[in-house]
Amino acid sequence: MRTALTELVGVRHPIVQTGMGWVSGPRLVTATARAGALGILASATMTPDQLRSAVREVRSRTDAPFGVNLRADAGDARERVRIIVEEGVRVASFALAPSKELIAELKDGGVVVVPSVGARRHAEKVAAWGADAVIVQGGEGGGHTGDVATTVLLPQVADAVDIPVIAAGGFHDGRGLVAALAYGAAGVAMGTRFLLTSDSTVPDAVKARYLAATAKDITLTRAVDGLPHRMLRTEMVAELEGAGRLRSLATAVRRASRFRRISGLGWPGMVRDGLALRHGKELTWSQVLLAANTPMLLRAAMVEGRTDVGIMASGQVAALIQDLPSVGELVSRLMTEAERTLATLSTGSGPPGAESSPPRATSGPPGDESSPSGA
């Protein structure tokens, strides 16, 4: 299935595995790349040396394209950009909009730049600065997210920019891929669905918690770091939501201290990173510290298997996922479902008088009128 995304980054399938801290490591990214989709390493939970090592590990296992996710507001963002360029990484994605200068530096190094956005105006801004594509995450997505549904946000962005748009938030199967293409996307990006595979290194007990979740078990809360954060409702989330200001501050200091020892980041650096996440919002000091060490809360669950003291970022789509296929099986299944859906739509199940040929959005090189992204 050729789309503007597959042509841009050189993958076989218009599917992106997102960069999830403590989850999107070399094993998952390698499996995704081998399956013909675009795997993204999550670098925010790595030191620069660990990032370089992880990139080389993936490169030693596959020659397929892959990417690295960066925090645009990190103090060492330029050092990480240099590593990406030096190591020949194909794609750089960002959880927050990168600066015009970072985009230019990456593009000068031959790297495809794909920021993630949650609003049309942000997509328009990074497109004007030279971004090659954007990942558009609707409110259904896991982790830090917005309040506009994918079905509303996606067509807004697809109509507003002339670069490939990748849809995220609420996707897990081939039907969703076809729907995204119909809205004008060039592909889909999925986090929770890739987390719940046999190639994910997340502990089995944590995966079981996700598989057991219903829609009511997935919540959007500000209690963790003061920003909207979609995750499973756990003991930790309930504790943070019910804690007073002093208790929250004590919890934040204790966890921040542990994260400082692991990351090597000093207190000034942690506070700086926490403040950088404020985005103009008023946060308490406990929220500032929790924002800085949210990776530690994620690590407790995603690495240590401590569902009682950790947090588990999750898209609402977790309520629809019931199995743990390999990444290869998942991608193959998803593409088969997409092809079957397109065939069904083109053979008479649509409204009377509908065209009998498959939707043109599924073929043709980027730049022509049939390109899903409109590029």
Under-50 pLDDT residues of the chain: 351-375
Which spans in 184-244 are helix H?
192-195, 204-212, 235-242
How crowded is the C-beta side of 52, counted as CA atoms within 13 Å? Answer: 10
**What pLDDT was estimated at residue 277?**
53
- Please report, for the chain, the start and end positions of each structural domain, with discontinuous segments joined by +: 4-201+321-362, 214-313
- Is 134 in contact with 114 (CB distance < 8 Å)? yes
- Is 278 in contact with 291 (CB distance < 8 Å)? yes
- Under 8 Å CB-to-CB from 280, ≥6 apart: which residues? none
**What pLDDT was estimated at residue 334?**
98
**What pLDDT was estimated at residue 239?**
78
pLDDT tens-digit readout, 109-141: 999 999 999 999 999 999 999 999 999 999 999
- We find that the CATH architecture of domain 4-201+321-362 is Alpha-Beta Barrel (3.20)
**What pLDDT was estimated at residue 171?**
98
pTM, full prediction: 0.85
**What pLDDT was estimated at residue 238?**
84
- Is 208 in contact with 35 (CB distance < 8 Å)? no
- Under 8 Å CB-to-CB from 232, ≥6 apart: which residues? 209, 210, 213, 217, 218, 219, 311, 312, 314, 318
**What pLDDT was estimated at residue 75?**
85
